[in-house]
Amino acid sequence: MAITGLATGVSANPTTLTLMPGVAQSITLTAALSAPASAASVSFTGTSGSLVHSAVLSLNVTAPATISAPDVTTYHFDVARDGLNAHETILTPANVNATQFGKIGFDTVDGLVDAEPLYLANVPIGGQLHNVLYVASEHDSVYAFDADSGTQLWKTSVLGSGETTSDNHGCGQITPEIGITSTPVIDRSQGPNGTLFTVGMSKDAAGKYHQRLHALDVTTGAEISGSPPEIAATYPGTGGNSTNGAVIFDPALYAERAALLLLDGNVYTAWTSHCDQGSYTGWVMAYSESTLQQTQVLNLTPNGREGSVWMSGDGLAGDGGGNIYLLDANGTFDTTFNASEMPAKSDYGNAMLKLAAHGGTGALAVADYFEMYNTANESNHDLDLGSGGELLLPDQTDANGGVHHLVVGAGKDGNIYLADRDNMGKFNAATNPEDSNVYQQITGQLSGVFSSPAYFNGTLYYGSVGSPLKAFAMVDAKP
């Protein structure tokens, strides 16, 4: 007996039958999770010699029930890093309270979790659709949990054979071990099922440290082809850890703390030190998400020292126009400038930076920046801007109808800095902060900031050390 007319995505098991008189037999029809909704007429045709008989049955395929909760594929929901889930349908300011909002589950992992968990709805795993929570640990493990039941769906260790996680290098900021620190990023359209990208640090039996970019299938946790590449880089310069005119990236000196950024097909990483130890500098690197080959490298202090990227785990931000924004930490800033008012030696320690990414295909470069007037004093006293994260505000309209594109950040000095992304302000050596070229500076409202701001419904939110949460309403394009 033959079967014809099956709908797209539907299979029969068995595909044919040999019938025996008086013996009941069955055929199972299975619709794949990807099968589109459709209606079909399926023919079952039996043949015996010259006798041919057919029976036609109607087959309806309906789409599986789906959950409308939006995916969370990157730190703070989007590359603006605003912390706003604009598609939330359940939680409201009214029902998030002590009686209706709280812990609903507990998922056990094998180490500390410094990365933000990520979420995908309706992931096909094991023949069923699951809402999946992805969690990365400092023990170099990545977990997939069913977000509704808490069941572990898979677990992957990104440690190489015979390796352990890194020790804490005598620095208590990431301790007792260093594995996966930064928030991964997910692209549901990359690879056969979607890909999660993460950076893991490890140490081999010979005591050598490694930093690798891992690309994991979101349905199985398996490394995709070409994963993981070893992270290495050099950059022209005579700064920290340089040899023969080239600064060398030493994986032992760094941790990947800032959340990964996926922009124009490239995964961007940014690197920080272990406390202020060693001869380190500031690095930003990009890897193609499809080939996993390194595409771009930039050193932020190539002829100086320090200037690493902390941002309390916030990620590099993207504006949709091929530009990247970040805050870097205490380090060398050149006060000798070229004709474009850019540091002559390309050292940008303790700055709010705009990078031109050129779609991930050209040289990554600093396109603009803002540097506070007392930057050298701040770096010398460890009062840098880079302890906090940045946020790209939605377009703001002033009283005259002018539209402003703003980036906001704050760090250890407690000042809130708003810069115009079209003209960051660069550097003014005047000793009065009111003479700064920055779009707006707010003083006296925060203590030291070791966190990222958030934005919701026209209001900018900040939490600083030892202070209550504060809300700043945006009025006429200023808080």
Query: How far apart (Å, rounded) are the C-alpha atoms in residues 249 and 227?
Result: 20
Convert 161-192 to b/e letters by CB count within 10 Å (16 or more is b).
eebebbebbeeeebeebbbbbbbbbbbeebbe
As a 3-state breakdown, the chain gives helix, strand, coil percent values, each rounded to 5, of 5, 40, 55
Please give the pLDDT value at position 385. Answer: 95
Higher pLDDT, 209 or 20: 209
Alpha-carbon distances, residue 109 vs 141, 219, 256 (angstroms): 8, 19, 20
Please give the pLDDT value at position 2. Answer: 83
pLDDT digits (tens, 9 = 90+) for 147-175: 999 999 999 999 999 999 999 999 999 99
SS3 state at 434: helix
Query: How far apart (Å, rounded) are the C-alpha atoms in residues 374 and 384?
Result: 10
Q: Pseudo-torsion of CA 68, 69, 75, 76, nearest 10°?
A: 110
Q: Which domain holds residue 14?
A: 2-61
Please tell me the total count of domains within the chain: 1
pLDDT digits (tens, 9 = 90+) for 96-147: 999 989 998 999 999 999 999 999 999 999 999 999 999 999 999 999 999 9
- Whether residue 474 is contained in a domain is answered as no
Alpha-carbon distances, residue 289 vs 77, 157, 188, 215 (angstroms): 19, 20, 12, 8
Please give the pLDDT value at position 35. Answer: 73
Instruction: Give the rounded percent of residues in the chain with a pLDDT score beyond 70.
Output: 97
- Whether residue 57 is contained in a domain is answered as yes
- Whether residue 314 is contained in a domain is answered as no
Q: If we measure between CA atoms, which residue out of 365, 395, 392, 375 comes closest to residue 330?
A: 375
Please give the pLDDT value at position 17. Answer: 75
- Whether residue 41 is contained in a domain is answered as yes
DSSP state of 375: H
- Whether residue 245 is contained in a domain is answered as no
Q: Pseudo-torsion of CA 363, 367, 373, 378, nearest 10°?
A: -40
Statement: residue 58 has pLDDT above 90:
no
Maximum pairwise Cα distance, the chain: 102
Confidence (pTM) = 0.88
Chain centroid to Cα 359, Å, comes to 17
- Whether residue 7 is contained in a domain is answered as yes
Residue at 133: amino acid letter: L
Q: In the predicted model, what is the mean pLDDT of residues 38-51? A: 82
Q: Which long-range contacts (CB under 8 A, 24 or more apart) does 399-402 make?
A: 399/476, 402/477
Statement: residue 65 has pLDDT above 80:
no
Q: In the predicted model, what is the mean pLDDT of residues 198-206? A: 98
Q: In the predicted model, what is the mean pLDDT of residues 444-455? A: 96
- Whether residue 55 is contained in a domain is answered as yes
The whole-chain average pLDDT of the chain stands at 93
Please give the pLDDT value at position 31. Answer: 79
- Whether residue 28 is contained in a domain is answered as yes
Across 143-157, 197-211, 315-329, 353-367, least confident range:
353-367
Q: In the predicted model, what is the mean pLDDT of residues 48-66? A: 77
22 confidence band (pLDDT: 50, 70, 90): confident
Alpha-carbon distances, residue 253 vs 112, 169, 209, 241, 432 (angstroms): 21, 9, 9, 10, 37
44 contact partners, CB below 8 Å, separation of at least 6: 1, 2, 3, 27, 54, 55, 56, 57
